[in-house]
Amino acid sequence: LKRRPPPGIPPLGDSALARIERGVFSALDERAIRPERAGESRRRLFAFAVAGVAAACAVLGAREWRRGDAPLARATTTATAITTTTSGSHIAISGAALDIAPESAVSFSGGRDGAVVVVLERGAVTCEVAPRSKRAPFVVEAGATRVTVIGTRFSVHRVGGHATVSVDHGLVEVADTNMTELVHAGERYRPGEPVTREPLASEAPPEPPLGPAPAAPAAPTVATVSAPAPTVAAVSAPAPTVATVSAPVLAPPLHSLARPSRHRRLALDDPNEEARSAASRSTVSATLPLPTDLVDGRVPAAATESPAGAARADVAPGVVKAPVEDSRGRAGGPQRSSVQVLFELAAQLEVRDPVVALRIYGELASGEDGWAASALFASARLEAERGHAARARALCEDYLARFPRGPNGDDARALLETSR
Amino acid sequence: MIQVVQARTTEEAERDLVRRCAAGERAAQTQLFREEVRRVHGLLYRVLGPNGAVEDLIQETFIRVFRSLPRFRGESQLSTWIGGIALNVAYGHLRSNPPPSVRLELVPDTRAREADAEHQLAAREGLRRVYQILDRLEPRLRIAFSLHAIDGRALREVAELMSASLVATKARVWRARRELAKRAKRDPLLLTYLDGTLADEPGDAP
C-alpha cells in the first residue's frame, strides 16, 4: 500500500518569525544568558545550595522576629551599653522608648524566652513599654531589683545595690531580694518599704463611700490580718489573727485612683515560705490591706479565727469582697480590682511560672465569690494541663462541692471525667 | 572530489557558526536562528498538531539551543541536535500540558493531490481525529508516531532525534498505530484515513 504524502504544514508568517526572534533574543538579554562552561552547572548547584541555606535562615529569622522583639532580644551575645554624662539620652527600641537620665549607665542584653533585659548600672532610666502580651518580656535590672514589664511607663532609679521604681501608668512586677511586688500606676517601690502611692496632680478627692453608713466608722471591720511589717519576712509570717467578714458590700466607686496605696506581697524566694504557706494560707489575702472608705456600714464586725489562719471575706456572688484595714491603719484599694489584677497576673504567669500562678489562684480561691470560683477552676485546669490529674480531680471536686452552680460547673465536671 | 570538498566546507562553516554562537555573537545567533527556525517549526507542528503554543515552544527551543551550544560536540549534524532539543521541549510540554483536542477549523488543508473538496474535507476530519487520539497517548508514542507515520521520516532518523534505539522507536510507532487501529474499528472515517495516509510500511512492525 503506497502511502500518500504527509499533510502540509502551514508556513510561519514573517510577523510570527519576527515575533519569535525578538522573543528569543530579548529572553537571552534579560536572563543575561552566557554560554555555559564546563563547570558552570556545578557552580550553579553550589549557588542553589547557598541560596537555599540563606532562604532557610531568612525564614527562621523572620519567624523569630515575629515571636519577639528581635533587635534587642537577639542581643544575647553582644550586649550594648549606653553611658550618659551631663545630658541624658533617649533611645527607641522595638516596643519601648527609654529616657536615660544624665550620669547613668545602661546596658542591654537578652534573657530567657527572648526577653529584652535592660541593666541599669547606675543612674536612672524611664521606660515606656508597649503591652507585652504577645511580645518577649521586657525586664529592667538594677542591682538586686528586677522589674518585669507588663505594659506601662515607669522609672527605675538605682540606689546602691537596689533601686526605686516609680510607675506612671500600667503595672510592673518588681522582684527584689526574697520578694516580688506588684507596683501599680501612681505607686512607688522603695527597697525595704511598702509600696507607697505617689501624689498625682490629676487625682480627684476621695468620694464618700457608697452605702447607708459612712466609711469612717469602719473601724469595727478592721481585722488584724497579718504581721504588718513591711518586709517580706514579716508579711509571710503566720497571721496570728484573722477575720471573716460575712456581709456583702457594694461595688467599689470609680475613684479608685484616690484610694490609699495598696500593698500586696508574695513571698516567693524565701526558703521557709513553702513550709509556712502549708501551715497558713496568708501570703496573699492576708497581706491585702483594703480601704475603709468602701466598706458597707452594714458589715458586721465579726472577727473569727479561721482554722487555716487565712483572712476570708465571705461575700455574695457578684459582689466584691469587703475591704478591711490592717492593724497599722494602712488602707488598700477595693478588693475587686485587686483580685482582678491578681487573677490576671496569675493567668499571665501560667506559662512562665505555673507554680506561682497556682499559688495565686489558690489564694484567690479561698474566697467565696465569683473570682474564687474562677480561680479554683483555673487552678484545676492548670493542674490538669501540667499533668497532675489527681490534683486536678481534687480541685474539681472541691469546686463542685463549693460552687455546684458555678459558672464553670459543667467544665469542672467534664474536666473531672477526662482526668480520671 | 568536489562533493567531499563541499561537505568539508559545510562542516567547517557549521563549526565556525557554532563557535561564534557559543561566544555570544549576536549576528551568528541570528543566522543560526533563521536557518533552523522553519525546520524546528515543522517538527513541533508535526508532533503537536495545530497548537497555539507552538510559537512559544519554538522560542523555548532556541533559548535552550543557545544555552547549550557550548556542549555541542559535533557528533551529529547541528540540525539533528537542534531537532532533538525541540523534541525535548515538545515532550516537556506534552507531559505538563495535556493538549486539548484539535478543533476542526484549526486543521489546515491537507494539500492532497486530489483537488476535490470532498477528499480535502475527509482528510481534514481524519487528521483531526488522529490528533484527538494522539492526545491520549503517552508523549513518546505520540512523538515517534507523528514523526514517522505522519511526517514520513525514516525510523532511523526518528530514533536519532529521540536519542532512542531503533527497536524502541519501532515499538513506539507500532504501539501508537495499534491504538489508532483499535479506535478506527469503530470509526470508518479514521480507518479510511489511516489506510490511505498513514499506512504501514514494510519494516514498521517491531
The ipTM assigned to this model is: 0.75
Percent helix / strand / coil, chain A, rounded to 5 = 35, 20, 45
pLDDT tens digits, A205-218: 444 333 333 333 33
Averaged pLDDT for residues B76-96: 89
Identify the CA nearest to B148 among candidates B128, B162, B133.
Answer: B162
**Across the interface, do B198 and A3 touch by the CB < 8 Å criterion?**
yes
- Report the gap between the CA of A10 and the closest CA in chain B (Å): 7
Q: So what's the pLDDT on residue B205?
A: 58
Identify the CA nearest to A101 among candidates A172, A155, A162.
Answer: A155
Name the closest residue on chain A to residue B62, using Cα atoms.
Answer: A24
Q: So what's the pLDDT on residue B84?
A: 92
Averaged pLDDT for residues A8-17: 81
- Report the gap between the CA of B95 and the closest CA in chain A (Å): 23
Name the closest residue on chain B to residue A38, using Cα atoms.
Answer: B71
* Chain A residues touching chain B at CB-CB below 8 Å: 1-12, 16-17, 19-21, 23-25, 27-28, 33-37
B24 touches chain A (CB under 8 A): yes
The Cα–Cα gap between B67 and A158 comes to 70
B204 touches chain A (CB under 8 A): no
pLDDT tens digits, A52-80: 888 888 888 777 666 554 444 343 334 46
pLDDT over threshold 90, residue A258: no
Q: So what's the pLDDT on residue A317?
A: 34
Helices within chain B (DSSP H only): 2-22, 26-48, 54-68, 78-96, 117-134, 139-145, 155-161, 166-184, 188-196
The Cα–Cα gap between A294 and A321 comes to 10
The Cα–Cα gap between A7 and A266 comes to 95
Buried b (16+ CB within 10 A) or exposed e, B39-60: ebbbbbbbbbbbbeebbebbbb
Identify the CA nearest to A140 among candidates A191, A101, A168, A106.
Answer: A106
Q: Tell me if A63 sits within 8 A of A84, measured CB to CB.
A: no
Question: What is the residue whose three cell numbers read 532580644?
Answer: A73
pLDDT tens digits, A45-58: 888 888 888 888 88
Chain B contacts of A20, Cβ < 8 Å?
37, 55, 58-59, 62
Surface-to-core class of residue A167, CB atoms within 10 Å of its CB (0-12 exposed, 13-18 middle, 19+ buried): buried
Chain B contacts of A2, Cβ < 8 Å?
199
How many Å from the N-terminal Cα to the C-terminal Cα in chain B? 39
Highest mean pLDDT among B60-69, B112-121, B191-200 belongs to B60-69
pLDDT over threshold 60, residue A368: yes
Highest mean pLDDT among A104-108, A243-247, B154-158 belongs to B154-158
CA angle at A330 for the pair A325 and A331, rounded to the nearest 5°: 60
What is the helix (H) or strand (E) element at residue A110, kind and residue range?
A: strand A105-110
The Cα–Cα gap between A241 and A244 comes to 10
Picking from A7, A28, A36, the nearest residue to B70 by CB comes out as A36
Q: So what's the pLDDT on residue B117?
A: 67
With a CB cutoff of 8 Å and minimum separation 6, the contacts of A180 are A173, A174, A265, A266, A268, A269
The Cα–Cα gap between A91 and B90 comes to 62
Averaged pLDDT for residues A207-231: 33
With a CB cutoff of 8 Å and minimum separation 6, the contacts of B115 are none
**Bigger pLDDT: A10 or B31?**
B31
Name the closest residue on chain A to residue B22, using Cα atoms.
Answer: A35
| Integer CA distances (angstroms), B130 to A189, B106, B121, in order | 91, 14, 14
Q: So what's the pLDDT on residue B58?
A: 93
Identify the CA nearest to B45 among candidates B61, B64, B69.
Answer: B61
Chain A contacts of B65, Cβ < 8 Å?
none
Picking from B23, B26, B196, the nearest residue to A35 by CB comes out as B23
The Cα–Cα gap between A366 and A379 comes to 12
**Bigger pLDDT: B47 or B206?**
B47
Mutate to test the interface with B, among A12, A31, A40 (most CBs of B within 10 A): A12
- Sign, CA torsion B5/B8/B13/B14: positive
Picking from A5, A9, A16, the nearest residue to B42 by CB comes out as A9
Q: So what's the pLDDT on residue B104?
A: 44
Chain A contacts of B202, Cβ < 8 Å?
none
Which of A22-26, A35-39, A198-202, A329-333 shows the lowest per-residue confidence on average (mean pLDDT)? A329-333
pLDDT over threshold 80, residue A1: no
Q: So what's the pLDDT on residue B149?
A: 84
Amino acid (1-letter code) at residue A232 = V
Name the closest residue on chain A to residue B38, using Cα atoms.
Answer: A12
* % of chain A beyond a pLDDT of 70: 54
**Across the interface, do A19 and B55 touch by the CB < 8 Å criterion?**
yes
pLDDT over threshold 70, residue A238: no
| Integer CA distances (angstroms), A199 to A105, A154, A188, A193, A261, in order | 28, 15, 10, 17, 10
Q: So what's the pLDDT on residue A288?
A: 32
At A1 the three-state DSSP class reads coil
Identify the CA nearest to A322 among candidates A402, A240, A244, A265.
Answer: A244
Q: How confident is the model at residue A131 (pLDDT cuts 50, 70, 90)?
A: low
Q: So what's the pLDDT on residue B40?
A: 92
The Cα–Cα gap between A107 and A129 comes to 17
Name the closest residue on chain A to residue B43, using Cα atoms.
Answer: A9
Q: So what's the pLDDT on residue A130?
A: 73
Picking from B63, B71, B197, the nearest residue to A3 by CB comes out as B197
B104 touches chain A (CB under 8 A): no
Q: So what's the pLDDT on residue A71?
A: 45
Which of A106-115, A122-131, B20-29 shows the lowest per-residue confidence on average (mean pLDDT)? A106-115
The Cα–Cα gap between A341 and A123 comes to 31
Q: So what's the pLDDT on residue B65?
A: 92
pLDDT over threshold 80, residue B39: yes
Q: How confident is the model at residue B87 (pLDDT cuts 50, 70, 90)?
A: very high
Averaged pLDDT for residues A25-50: 71
| Integer CA distances (angstroms), A365 to A241, A337, B69, in order | 20, 15, 82
Averaged pLDDT for residues A92-117: 77
**Across the interface, do B70 and A11 touch by the CB < 8 Å criterion?**
no
Q: How confident is the model at residue B82 (pLDDT cuts 50, 70, 90)?
A: very high
Name the closest residue on chain B to residue A22, using Cα atoms.
Answer: B59
Highest mean pLDDT among A179-188, A345-354, A370-379 belongs to A370-379
pLDDT tens digits, B123-159: 777 777 788 888 888 889 989 988 888 888 889 989 9
Q: So what's the pLDDT on residue B62?
A: 93
> What are the helix and strand counts (H, E) for chain A?
10, 15
Highest mean pLDDT among A190-194, B142-146, B202-206 belongs to B142-146
Chain B contacts of A21, Cβ < 8 Å?
30, 33-34, 37
The rounded mean pLDDT for chain B is 80
pLDDT over threshold 90, residue A194: no
- Report the gap between the CA of A45 and the closest CA in chain B (Å): 16
Bridge partners, A184 (sequence order): A171
What is the helix (H) or strand (E) element at residue A336, kind and residue range?
A: helix A335-352
Bridge partners, A82 (sequence order): A106
Averaged pLDDT for residues A298-310: 32
Chain A contacts of B67, Cβ < 8 Å?
33, 35-36
User: Interhelix angle for A409-418 vs A370-385, to 10°?
Assistant: 20
- Report the gap between the CA of B66 and the closest CA in chain A (Å): 7
Per-position DSSP letters for A174-234, written without gaps between them: EEETTEEEEEETTEEE-TTS--EEPP-TTPPPPPPPSSSS-SGGGGGG----S---SSHHH
Chain A contacts of B120, Cβ < 8 Å?
none
How many Å from the N-terminal Cα to the C-terminal Cα in chain A? 87
